[in-house]
Structure 1
């Protein structure tokens, strides 16, 4: 039996695929709250810290590199590959993307995918885990719903059923193993920047500043950019394509989100490997998939076609 065949064998039914329970525990809520609060506080402190001289070239390089790797682990891996099957990767690419996505510290890959598939099934309707329209359309209801969509839903004690929404991933031994080792990828994500900072500067100050920028600020920024797709992109933005919900395109989030904020086309055509389909709609996630395809590491990429875009457009032509 080849390594690939072994990876495709079903995992034992009794094996927990994420180490979590069907109901979120108090300990999990406390840990989640810590990973939200600490990076957010650090993000607020980032400008005065930089102004005080605690920002070096190595901090910039490490932060941008870690942000890019973990961002695209989510956008290319968790989202376009594992959730929507926009392309088929080889085993190495599959596992690398799962690990990089885990290092974004947004939850184990199988849990994340189950939540997002449920979101698409009920998008902006009853049953959607994180719709900003959950409490109605009044100013008070939308304000409450916006906070819920952005981060409040993360503390919901009821977890999405994996057997219902991600049974395919629960049968992949590689992804089960990576999901169960989520705690290890969290430690790697936290400790890698200060280690790199120390090796580049041979100083504890270099390690400390790299930890602040490359770990804490990077995690906070990445989390809020990701959550903004749930909140901002379901409240405002242009809607050039027909979808069953209120998903919109928010141009100023395109670069930091890796192209995810071209959200209207995504909800109009969820399996499309490219979300930014018009001129100047930058989509670095789609570019990475394109590069992987050119190297022969992924195949059967579901690129959008002019005919398909035209059929979903609210106007007669798409540039």
Structure 2
């Protein structure tokens, strides 16, 4: 739930409006972090007193996968790195699913992540977790900043400068402009499904709490942990100018995003897996779309053979 709507305007006008958007983004960060947290607490309390239904668990899992594909497959590998070309239906699905994840509109997310790669682990990196002072306190401050603290102090940047490709795409910008509506739908839809399937108020409330707020909370932290711990602990298989690292245990919840050193070594690739045993659910999803003819020009490790094996 971060930032204001960005319309298709001239870059100079975008730059003039940037300070106001930055202030609004910082304020909305409190809603981004606070509401899912409170909603998750509410979900736990509700489950303690009323039970955790199968519908709650299923809706949480389904919505997590859908919005996770939107974030890792859409915002990250497609919209930011252009690691494949998507058909219009796939593009729309990824943008809508990503918006329902409530991590910010497409333009906001892409601009900040492109900055992250351009200036990884430097002062210009929006969310570097590098120590901010000596000792344990400095390390913890850095981790907090890299994980979630940066949202409360969004740096003043001209987002249009880093997203000119998508500012020219009318479909993407239309979805970008409907961000808050899509966030709301992402919370309400699982409630309606839960209520219809179970024919009960519990199904409706549980769907909103678990398929909505708790799902947003879980996916938020799965994404943010790659920014924080993914640049702090773990294995470095490839040399890079930053501190990116692989954390295998986080591969399932991040849907392959935690092979972060692999990704930073070659960010333009559609898959983060480099060995057969590395789980990359989003990478396999992109491969399936490729086989189905729904995406094209997928960048695998070996672009000549179209295989990453």
Distance 2:303 2:157 in 1: 36
Cα distance per residue 1:250-297 (max 9 Å; x no partner): 111100001000000100100011102213210000010000000101
Matched, 1:265 2:277: no
Q: CA deviation at 1:66?
A: 0.4
Give the corresponding residue for 1:180.
Answer: 177
Give the corresponding residue for 1:254.
Answer: 251
Using a 3 Å threshold, how does the CA distance of structure 1 residues 137 and 119 change in structure 2: closer, same or farther? farther
Matched, 1:219 2:251: no
Matched, 1:150 2:147: yes
Give the corresponding residue for 2:96.
Answer: 99
Q: 2:63 aligns with which of 42, 66, 69?
A: 66
Alignment check: 8 A CA contact 1:124 1:245 kept: yes
Q: CA deviation at 1:86?
A: 0.5
Distance 1:162 1:134 in 2: 26
Alignment check: 8 A CA contact 1:23 1:157 kept: no
Distance 1:221 1:89 in 2: 27
Distance 1:306 1:13 in 2: 36
Instruction: Compute the TM-score of the two structures, normalised by the length of structure 1.
Output: 0.86
Using a 3 Å threshold, how does the CA distance of structure 1 residues 61 and 84 change in structure 2: closer, same or farther? same
Give the corresponding residue for 2:53.
Answer: 56
Q: 2:82 aligns with which of 64, 85, 89?
A: 85
Alignment check: 8 A CA contact 2:77 2:83 kept: yes
Distance 1:22 1:108 in 2: 17
Q: 2:300 aligns with which of 288, 300, 303?
A: 303
Distance 1:99 1:166 in 2: 18
Instruction: Compute the TM-score of the two structures, normalised by the length of structure 2.
Output: 0.89
Matched, 1:128 2:140: no
Cα distance per residue 1:97-144 (max 9 Å; x no partner): 111111100000011000000000000012000001152563221110
Cα distance per residue 1:67-114 (max 9 Å; x no partner): 000011011100000100100111111111111111100000011000
Matched, 1:231 2:228: yes
Alignment check: 8 A CA contact 1:118 1:160 kept: no
Distance 2:42 2:180 in 1: 27
Distance 1:231 1:110 in 2: 22
Q: CA deviation at 1:24?
A: 4.1
Cα distance per residue 1:160-200 (max 9 Å; x no partner): 32222111111111111111111111111111111111111
Q: CA deviation at 1:157?
A: 4.5
Gapped regions of structure 2 (runs ≥ 5): 1-6
Distance 1:16 1:204 in 2: 48
Q: CA deviation at 1:25?
A: 5.7
Gapped regions of structure 1 (runs ≥ 5): 1-9, 308-317
Give the corresponding residue for 1:76.
Answer: 73
Over 6 Å off, 4+ runs: 14-17
Number of corresponding residues: 298
Q: CA deviation at 1:14?
A: 7.4
Q: 1:38 aligns with which of 35, 38, 43?
A: 35
Matched, 1:204 2:201: yes
Say which structure is richer in helix.
Answer: 2
Give the corresponding residue for 1:116.
Answer: 113
